[in-house]
Amino acid sequence: MKITASNLVSAINQLDKNVYYNYINAKTKGFIKIQRVDMPEGPIIIKRFDPSKGKLEKNAKEESISTNLIWRVANAIQEDVPINIDRVLGASYNTRSVFETLLAHTPCFHITKPGRIEITASISEIKKGHKHIVWLPNQPHKLGIINEIQTEKVISEIPTQDVIYESLIIPVGYSFAGEPNPAQFDIEMQRRHAQIQVALVLIGMQLGYRTWIAQNDKGLIYNNKKLGEMDSVIVSLKDEKLLSAHEDAIKAALLIDCIWFKNSRLMPAVMEIECTTGINSGLSRMKNFYDKFPPFPTRFVVVAPDTDRSKVINECSKKQFTDLKPKYFPFSAVEELYSLCQKRKIKGITEEFLDCYMENIA
């Protein structure tokens, strides 16, 4: 079961807004009070103050637990797997302890202290663990209290793998998917679209796929090389045996962001990256391709920011797109897979492996 930002926000919204909440750590003095919760994905507005220092609620400023913070935590949560919020968020967000505290007061989150494996000079030793939070949806406790559970789990902390992109140059006048007015899009939005496109190309390369990228995107320059000149990028769709006899399908595919091909016989995924244009436009391009190409087993995938999940589901669920049986590939999952490919150089897996990273939309 995948937990989302809206699940976390909804859980916190059940808490009493007229109550002062104590921090998890008893050494942290002061109270937290929820001012309001903006559904479905935040932000959550709170006040915090310490009466022992003469601070009063009425004088405390309102602070925001942002949607981005909530999504970062949501992406880290797995059932019955303890997580350290500080480790997830690093030094970012000064409301991280507040969010952790509020989560702990909701029924399905518990506090636990798993053992910590410490290795010194090749000698492994289990030390006393730090505070973690764990999601146990089948073991709820009473709303509004903090519940600590004992655990036999131990954690071996390994460094997280960052995703690093090389230099990326977006040519002047460049537009995505044939959009006539590139100026309407923020440059960082364009850059993010291009980074994800590069990640998909490099994932495909590692998995043994040849990749088509939208015709108008081939001029993007990544690591001093045009995307259209990268190894494994397809120069012309007419050279693909699967499509060569279907001229209308080729025309329909020209502006699709990314299509993976394998062994001239398989098409693992048809993908549209949606962070610049509306989700509907990408779905429409994939539907046009679907209508022009004979029935063939593949995945029609919307690749979009985690914060756009509800929007993706709403658009993909529309009647005109049901034939596509769309999947959702969030940016965080793209970069998780990209990181794995770069770090471990995975190979020899079946294309069903992709389904572990994509969400079916019914």
Judging by DSSP bridges, how do beta strands 63-65 and 44-49 pair with one another?
A: antiparallel
Residues 204 and 321 in one domain: yes
Q: Which domain holds residue 305?
A: 168-360
d(CA 109, CA 157): 21
Q: Are 247 and 236 in contact (CB under 8 A)?
A: no
State CA 7 to chain mean position distance. Answer: 15
Q: What pLDDT is stored for residue 122 in this prediction? A: 63
d(CA 1, CA 129): 27
Number of domains within the chain: 2
3-state SS track over 337-361: HHHHHHHHCCCCCCHHHHHHCCEEC
Q: List, for residues 303-324, the tens digit of each pLDDT value.
A: 999 888 889 999 999 999 999 9
Mean local confidence (pLDDT), 114-139: 83
Report residue 57: phi and psi, to 5°.
-55, -45
What pTM was estimated for this model as a whole? 0.81
Confidence grade of residue 18 (pLDDT, cut at 50, 70, 90)? very high
Helix (H, G, I), strand (E, B) or coil at 14: coil
Q: What pLDDT is stored for residue 167 in this prediction? A: 86
Task: Kindly state the DSSP code that residue 160 receives in the 8-state scheme.
Answer: -
Mean local confidence (pLDDT), 22-44: 93
Residues 139 and 190 in one domain: no
Boundary of a domain, candidates 155, 183, 207: 155
- CA end-to-end span of the chain, whole Å? 15
Q: What pLDDT is stored for residue 183 in this prediction? A: 46
Residues 234 and 355 in one domain: yes
Residues 148 and 297 in one domain: no
d(CA 289, CA 283): 10
Q: What pLDDT is stored for residue 182 in this prediction? A: 47
Q: Are 317 and 231 in contact (CB under 8 A)?
A: no
Strands (E), 180-299: 210-213, 221-222, 225-226, 258-262, 266-273
Q: Evaluate if residue 163 carries a pLDDT over 90.
A: no
Residues 21 and 142 in one domain: yes
Chain-wide mean pLDDT for the chain? Answer: 90
Q: Evaluate if residue 20 carries a pLDDT over 50.
A: yes
Task: Please state, as a whole number, how many other Cβ atoms lie within 10 Å of the Cβ of residue 273.
Answer: 30
Residues 194 and 259 in one domain: yes
Confidence grade of residue 180 (pLDDT, cut at 50, 70, 90)? very low
Question: How big is the chain by its Cα radius of gyration, in Å?
Answer: 24
- Give the percent of the chain with pLDDT over 70: 93
Q: Are 152 and 166 in contact (CB under 8 A)?
A: no
Q: What pLDDT is stored for residue 148 in this prediction? A: 96
Residue among 119, 109, 100 at smallest CA distance from 46: 100
* Longest pairwise C-alpha distance within the chain: 78
In a domain, 163, yes or no: no
